[in-house]
Amino acid sequence: MTTATKSMNVFMKGKAKQAVIEEIIVSRRYEDEEGNPIPFRLKAVDTKRIEDLQDECTVPQFKKGKKVGEEVDWKRFACRLAVETTVYPDFRDQELLNSYGLVDPCDLVKEILNVGGEYAELIQAVQRVNGFDTDFEELVDDAKN
């Protein structure tokens, strides 16, 4: 290990590269004026927000009417993370939600990407953009079902 790699300077605030916005074709059903598929734009979500989403998607588990623990609703978490990660289209856009008669951005994601493979493609891209390349395989399988 060289002296440069032992320095803490590389970890100082502001030294990390900023997350870039990635474009991915999730659906070929949405096209621009020239007939080209419109890419979705994705940007990684910070760790704190991911933890908050996990907390928000944690549901109590009951046995015989008594709370016995908690469990993350991974399908809901996958969709919530997709909403947070997707910069374009903005699934929280009120006008877009209204055009489908919906309130919940997760319902909108599933309505816009109502072909199962499209939704699975988005979930896979979201996991990759957020650095969950292999550990998230079960989540993707759950989201496909």
Secondary structure (DSSP) of 68-126: EEEEE-HHHHHHHHHHHHEEES-TT-HHHHHHHT-S-HHHHHHHHT-SHHHHHHHHHHH
Q: What is the pLDDT of residue 51?
A: 94
41-130 — its CATH code?
A: 3.30.2220.30
d(CA 67, CA 118): 37
Count CA atoms closer than 13 A to 124's CA, side-chain side: 11
d(CA 36, CA 46): 31
Give the number of other CB atoms < 10 A from CB of residue 123.
Answer: 26
In this structure, the dihedral spanned by the alpha carbons of residues 88, 53, 45 and 107, taken in order and rounded to 10 degrees, is -10
Q: 63 - beta bridge partners? A: 66
pLDDT tens for the chain, 145 residues: list them.
455 567 888 888 887 788 889 999 999 999 999 999 999 999 999 999 999 999 999 988 888 888 888 899 999 999 999 999 999 999 999 999 999 999 999 999 999 999 979 999 999 999 999 998 755 555 555 554 4
